[in-house]
Amino acid sequence: MVAAERLARLLDPAEHQLTLVSRSHRFIFYPALVRLAFGECEPDDISYDLRAALRARGVRFVNGIDVRSVTPRRTHVTIATSGGAVSAPAVIGATDAAARLPDADPWPVRALTVVIETSEPSPAALTRSGWPESQPFYTNDLPLLWGRRLPTGGLLVGRELLPDVDRDATEPTRAIHAAGLRLHARVRGLHPALVDLSVVRVWAGPIARTTAGVPTLHIDPEFPNLVWAGGYGGHGLAQAFRMGRRAAEAIS
């Protein structure tokens, strides 16, 4: 989205048509995630429908579809989607850590980050633990432990970081389950008043980065106007804005 907005400023709309292909029409205002993490707002407060804003900048918006494949041709790139095909002479691919390029991996350091949701602590337990106002917290212990109250009353607590595991259906499940148990034990160990908390659910999501720990642009070897951006390592909060501008400049 940042790259599309940047390109709309850099390129002559009479000569170029910009198209943003996205699964969703809603976008999160990432700088406000700090407020969300500290319980000062809810997800809907920082999620916006940007279709009208993009149209005002001359950007065509295609959403509600999944990208199936990206194929470089001699003069253009073809993007096959669940809703048909789109072709363009230049393409920026904003990848997440679940994506892997077929011929190379520009972001080879991969891991799973794990968080849990706990049952709701009683008001008495919160008072005894010194946490009556449910202020979001993080500890100085390593690995870092952080938590906040959810609207359901339970706690959202993270995180465990797992080395990338084989994508076999069994092994990741076992590793994630074990990580959830470790998080549960750490939460219960914060104070005796929290010992009765149970685990409601466990989440895990992939992160990816370079060995240097910085995001990069990867120019496709088959087509120089196909640029892949990624490798944020779970820290795309601010870095994606800079990468979006760099990607736009790379193909403009």
Using only C-alpha atoms, what is the Rg of the chain?
21
Which residue ranges form the domains of the chain, and what is each CATH number? 2-100+212-251 (3.50.50.60), 109-209 (3.30.9.10)
Task: Look up residue 143 and give its amino acid.
Answer: P
Is the distance from CB of 228 to CB of 101 less than 8 angstroms? yes
Question: What is residue 102's predicted lDDT score, i.e. its pLDDT?
Answer: 66
Task: Look up residue 166 and give its amino acid.
Answer: D
**How many CB atoms within 10 Å of residue 131?**
19
Question: What is residue 195's predicted lDDT score, i.e. its pLDDT?
Answer: 95
Is the distance from CB of 113 to CB of 205 less than 8 angstroms? yes
Q: Quote the tokens at residue 156.
A: 């959202």
pLDDT along the chain (252 residues), means of 10: 76 81 70 69 74 78 82 88 88 77 79 93 90 78 84 90 65 86 94 95 89 86 85 74 82 77
Question: What is residue 180's predicted lDDT score, i.e. its pLDDT?
Answer: 95
Q: Quote the tokens at residue 134.
A: 């449910």
Alpha carbon distance 151, 135 (integer Å): 13
Is the distance from CB of 96 to CB of 55 less than 8 angstroms? no
Please identify which residue in the block is written with the tokens 């990624």.
230
Question: What is residue 34's predicted lDDT score, i.e. its pLDDT?
Answer: 65
